[in-house]
Amino acid sequence: MHFETIVAWGVAGILLARLSVELWLSTLNRRHVLAHADAVPPAFQGFVNKSVYDNSVAYTLAKERFGNVEAVYRTLLLIVFLFSGILPWTFGLFAHGLGQSAWAMAAFLFVIGLVVSALTLPLDWISQFRLEQKFGFNTTTWRTWWSDRLKALLLSVALGYPLLALLLKIVTWAGSWWWLWNWGAVMAVQLLLSVLAPVLILPLFNKLTPLPEGTLRNGLLDLARRTQFRAGNIQLMDGSKRSRHSNAFFTGFGRFRKIVLFDTLIEQLSEPEVEAVVAHEIGHYRKGHIPRMLLLSAVSLLAGFYVLAVLARQEWFYRAFGFGSGNITPAFLIFGLLAGTAGFWIGPLVNRLSRRYEYQADAFAAQAVGQAQSLIAALRKLNGKNLSNLVPHPLYSGFYYSHPTLLERERALGGSART
């Protein structure tokens, strides 16, 4: 058996192993949820009624079923793309018809990405207009849904396609260190977008308005001053345009930094609770979590480009997927298609770090507002309103969750949750 054949079978095995782990974890979680489905667990009695808990269980199980279908579909789709020969055939069409310039090869990568996205649109539609609608979360219209995707497509044409061409062009003139230059180019674009996105891109999808004058605005501005958080303004985002889920975040840097609150968050929480949630977000900033996560992302990206550079020099890597050597574009494509699978296996480590940061941000918020009860009350309401899984299997939450569970956060805050 040729080495490239072994590589192909190995990659297929890794893809199927990921699917097996996903389905196994889903089964564990489903059984764990069903084992606690008959009555509200004692830890939640007093602030979660039976109706909300039943809806939470039903929503969790529905998402698990849909997630399993989605996992199988995406895995089969990826296997077909990688091993059916369609990618080398399409590459040949582009190379013959358009040549092998950076712009032509970038067009090949862009079109493949577009086709993959188009084939997953039905799943996105079902999730929004079937699953989310069934449980009362969907508020978007078909027009808004399609408009969002058209805008995203235009942005990818304007930003993503030129970036792909730039990365391929760098390969031709940067020599053996092209991977380092590619990393620098992507990092520069990411930093630029982090500044410009809140000003130029976010308003394309959502309407942002200044938070009206009043006690909430005054309280949040006072909180920002107390915690030494410089924010240009506090804005309200029309999140209810698409969903009843709620959130709060801050975005941008320097004078472009802004606190953004979903209008659904304002509707669901009291003013002290909103203040506690914003204090939590400020905690991420004051504790240095954001630059640390950016650094982790930068290191991961650098490692990714280095691995790509190593693989791009191996003829067996191209032959394993039906390509000939001589053009690096297929290496970019294969690596991009498999990056998500690689990320799946290291995801639990990143999530573990993220959960640690969430605990620290919670502790900061409790100190900033002078007590923990407002944050605990906010977390209870948000978990209830969002029908969060209150009893996930520990292995499931440990693998997937970037945030601790409600009980874990209450215990860390010294809350009154009972086990």
Q: Which of 22, 281, 358, 408 is catalytic?
A: 281
pLDDT at 56: 95
pLDDT at 417: 41
Q: How many residues does the chain have?
A: 419
pLDDT at 185: 97
The side-by-side arrangement of strands in the sheet containing 258-262 is 208-210, 233-237, 258-262, 248-251
Q: Report domain extents, the chain.
A: 208-268
CA distance 155 to 293: 25
pLDDT at 240: 86
Is 281 annotated as catalytic? Answer: yes
pLDDT at 255: 62
Q: Which of 22, 362, 408, 410 is catalytic?
A: 362
Residues contacting 110, CB < 8 A, separation 6+: 156, 157, 160, 161, 164
pLDDT at 46: 84
CA angle 186, 191, 192 (to 5 degrees): 95
pLDDT at 256: 63
Q: Which fold has domain 208-268?
A: Zincin-like (3.30.2010)
210, burial (CB in 10 Å: exposed 0-12, middle 13-18, buried 19+) = exposed
pLDDT at 71: 97
| Neighbouring C-beta atoms of residue 15, cutoff 10 Å | 20
Asked whether the whole model's pTM tops 0.85, one would answer yes
Is 64 annotated as catalytic? Answer: no
- One digit per residue, the tens of pLDDT, for the chain of length 419 reads 578 889 999 999 999 999 999 999 999 999 999 999 999 999 898 889 999 999 999 999 999 999 999 999 999 999 999 999 999 999 999 999 999 999 999 999 999 999 999 999 999 999 999 999 999 899 999 999 999 999 999 999 999 999 999 999 999 999 899 999 999 999 999 988 888 888 888 888 988 888 888 899 889 888 988 998 876 678 888 888 888 888 877 776 666 677 888 888 888 999 999 999 999 999 998 999 989 999 999 999 999 999 999 999 999 999 999 998 889 999 999 999 999 999 999 999 999 999 999 999 999 999 999 999 999 999 999 999 999 999 999 999 999 999 999 999 999 998 544 33
